[in-house]
């Protein structure tokens, strides 16, 4: 095809603000002679509940499955927080991930040199940080049955089920080992095998796959409580972190502290079908509508999309352009220092788009 079909799901809160900047940057790629895109926009999350009474309508799911890629801003917010079960905005996102078969969520962290002094960690602690969390995304306690809530007063109770099959563990472990081979050759598998039966299956399965097919990769195991501490204490030791759905959610926000803002972390949710590209952060209701959101996580998610589409040149151009604008000292409020130059969400997006135009094909 002469263009890629991209479904946009801007969603709620800052979602639409950051999504608009990713689109601006992608359009700049095209203008500069890079790949071309046809964008179609759909409601997802809270806005879709308001419009259609469903956070992820079937026709939206079908559009996503038929596209070359999906870019999602963020879903959820206080307006929809009293809803339960499948009516929640977040349930809509889970349904989309499941429908796309996006079982592997890649969440990379590297810290641009010019942001080193912004990290809450000392410079020497973050030197050399370059880690990739491979988070299982369509199983575990997010999807396990049974789930429920019943009773009243003192008798009220609720339950979720953490469940993994060996197949689910193997396929995501494979993704982690393959990435390790392309990187520094080390996988750290994170679980709670000292307590949870499901984690013991996780550890046994990862170990067996390692022995059978990936003995060239170094494999370590950590308990999740220790892993959370190690990420802050000695983050440069990690290459690929392999973990389940819930632990991966928590550890990826933990790793966002290294660069000093959640607004820096992109992600790709892959599995075989259409890829879903979404920042690690949420809808940030506390800053929505103020032009304060950092669009980098969303723009860098678009760069991961370009990589996945086989457009490595354009992906590199986007990443180098983002670095360039940061190096020039421009920052959104989350990264501001007395020396930095302040930029709004759209100002930062525009600057990156301008840089991209100079860079593609160069
Ligand atoms: P959040 O990620 O939205 O915000 C956490 C903190 O980080 C806030 O202080 C916020 O201002 C800040 N932040 C987040 N992204 C930022 C950005 N791009 N630039 C600057 N600052 C940024 O998490 P939360 O407040 O716990 O959740 C808010 C809502 O978002 C909830 O409804 C939650 O379910 C939802 N959520 C959605 C997704 C998603 O759609 N993928 C991810 C996480 C949370
Ligand atoms: C994330 C989010 C989601 C998750 C929520 C909104 C369902 O926190 O993408 O990290 O927990 O997967
Ligand atoms: Mn999260």
Q: Ligand 2 atom 8: the closest Cα is on which residue?
A: 249
pTM of the model: 0.98
Q: Are residues 282 and 240 in the same domain?
A: no
Owner of token pair 């999309």:
305
Q: Are residues 237 and 314 in the same domain?
A: no
pLDDT digits (tens, 9 = 90+) for 26-54: 999 999 999 999 999 999 999 999 999 99
Q: Are residues 100 and 124 in the same domain?
A: no
CB 289 within 8 A of CB 81: no
Q: Are residues 86 and 130 in the same domain?
A: no
Q: Are residues 125 and 239 in the same domain?
A: yes
For residue 353, tell me if it sits in a domain. yes
Q: Are residues 175 and 289 in the same domain?
A: no
For residue 34, tell me if it sits in a domain. yes
pLDDT at 117: 85
Q: Which residues contact 242 (CB under 8 A, 6 or more apart)?
A: 134, 172, 173, 176, 187, 188, 189, 190, 206
Please compute, for residue 155, the number of CA atoms within 13 A of its CA located in the half-sphere on the CB side.
Answer: 3
pLDDT digits (tens, 9 = 90+) for 279-336: 999 999 999 999 999 999 999 999 999 999 999 999 999 999 999 999 999 999 999 9
Q: Where are the alpha helices (DSSP H) in the chain?
A: 15-31, 46-52, 58-65, 89-99, 123-126, 166-182, 197-213, 224-233, 245-256, 296-308, 312-327, 345-359
Q: Are residues 173 and 237 in the same domain?
A: yes
For residue 145, tell me if it sits in a domain. no
Last residue of a domain, one of 232, 258, 284: 258
Residue 43 sits in a domain of what CATH number? 3.40.718.10
pLDDT at 359: 83
Kindly report the length of the chain.
Answer: 362
Ligand 2 pocket, residue 249 CB under 6 Å? yes
Count structural domains, the chain: 2
Closest ligand 2 atom to 267 CA: 9
What's the CA-to-centroid distance between 338 and ligand 2, angstroms?
Answer: 33
For residue 298, tell me if it sits in a domain. yes
Protein residues within 5 Å, CB atom, of ion ligand 3 = 249
What is the chain's mean pLDDT, rounded?
A: 97
Domain that holds residue 63: 1-104+265-362
For residue 343, tell me if it sits in a domain. yes
Q: Are residues 124 and 231 in the same domain?
A: yes
For residue 291, tell me if it sits in a domain. yes
Q: Are residues 207 and 307 in the same domain?
A: no
Instruction: Return the H-helix or E-strand segment holding 142.
Output: none
Residue % of the chain over a pLDDT of 70: 99
Q: Are residues 192 and 277 in the same domain?
A: no
What's the CA-to-centroid distance between 251 and ligand 3, angstroms?
Answer: 9
Q: DSSP labels for 176-230?
A: HHHHHHHTTSEEEEEE-TTT-HHHHHHHHHHHHHHHHH-TTSEEEEEEHHHHHHH
For residue 23, tell me if it sits in a domain. yes
pLDDT at 362 over 80: no
Strand, coil or helix: 78: helix
Residue 178 sits in a domain of what CATH number? 3.40.50.2300
pLDDT at 361 over 70: no
Q: Which residues contact 167 (CB under 8 A, 6 or more apart)?
A: none
Last residue of a domain, one of 258, 275, 299: 258
Q: Are residues 306 and 330 in the same domain?
A: yes
Alpha carbon distance 352, 22 (integer Å): 10
Q: Which residues contact 78 (CB under 8 A, 6 or more apart)?
A: 285
For residue 152, tell me if it sits in a domain. no
Ligand 2 pocket, residue 323 CB under 6 Å? no
pLDDT at 1: 62
Tokens of 334: 């989350």
Last residue of a domain, one of 215, 230, 258: 258
Q: Are residues 205 and 305 in the same domain?
A: no
pLDDT at 360 over 90: no
What's the CA-to-centroid distance between 37 and ligand 2, angstroms?
Answer: 27
């Amino acid at each position: 095809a002469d263009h890629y079909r991209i479904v946009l799901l801007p969603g709620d809160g800052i979602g639409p603000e950051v999504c608009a900047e990713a689109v601006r940057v992608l359009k700049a790629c095209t203008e500069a002679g890079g790949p071309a895109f046809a964008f179609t926009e759909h409601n997802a999350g809270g806005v879709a509940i308001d419009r259609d009474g469903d956070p992820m309508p079937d026709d939206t799911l079908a559009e996503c499955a038929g596209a070359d890629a999906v870019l999602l801003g963020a879903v959820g917010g206080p307006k929809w927080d009293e809803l339960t079960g499948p009516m929640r905005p977040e349930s809509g996102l889970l349904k989309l991930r499941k429908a796309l078969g996006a079982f592997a969520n890649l969440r990379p962290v590297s810290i641009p040199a010019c942001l080193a002094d912004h990290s809450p960690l000392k410079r020497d602690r973050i030197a050399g940080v370059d880690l990739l969390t491979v988070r299982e995304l369509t199983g575990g306690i997010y999807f396990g049955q049974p789930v429920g809530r019943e009773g009243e007063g003192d008798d009220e109770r609720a339950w979720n089920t953490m469940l993994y099959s060996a197949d689910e563990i193997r396929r995501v472990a494979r993704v982690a080992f393959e990435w390790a081979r392309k990187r520094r050759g080390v996988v750290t598998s994170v679980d709670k095998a000292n307590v949870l039966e499901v984690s013991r299956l996780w550890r046994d399965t990862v170990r067996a796959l390692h022995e059978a097919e990936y003995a060239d990769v170094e494999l370590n195991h950590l308990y999740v409580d220790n892993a959370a501490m190690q990420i802050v204490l000695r983050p440069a030791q990690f290459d690929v972190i392999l973990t389940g759905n819930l632990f991966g959610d928590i550890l990826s926000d933990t790793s966002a502290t290294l660069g000093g803002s959640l607004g820096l972390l992109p992600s790709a949710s892959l599995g075989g079908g259409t890829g879903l590209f979404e920042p690690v952060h949420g809808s940030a209701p506390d800053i929505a509508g103020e032009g304060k959101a950092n669009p980098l996580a969303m723009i860098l998610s678009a760069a991961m999309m370009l990589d996945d589409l086989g457009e490595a040149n354009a992906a590199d151009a986007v990443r180098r352009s983002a670095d360039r604008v940061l190096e020039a000292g421009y920052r959104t409020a989350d990264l501001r220092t007395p020396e930095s130059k302040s930029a709004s969400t759209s100002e930062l997006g525009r600057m990156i788009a301008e840089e991209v135009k100079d860079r593609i094909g160069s």
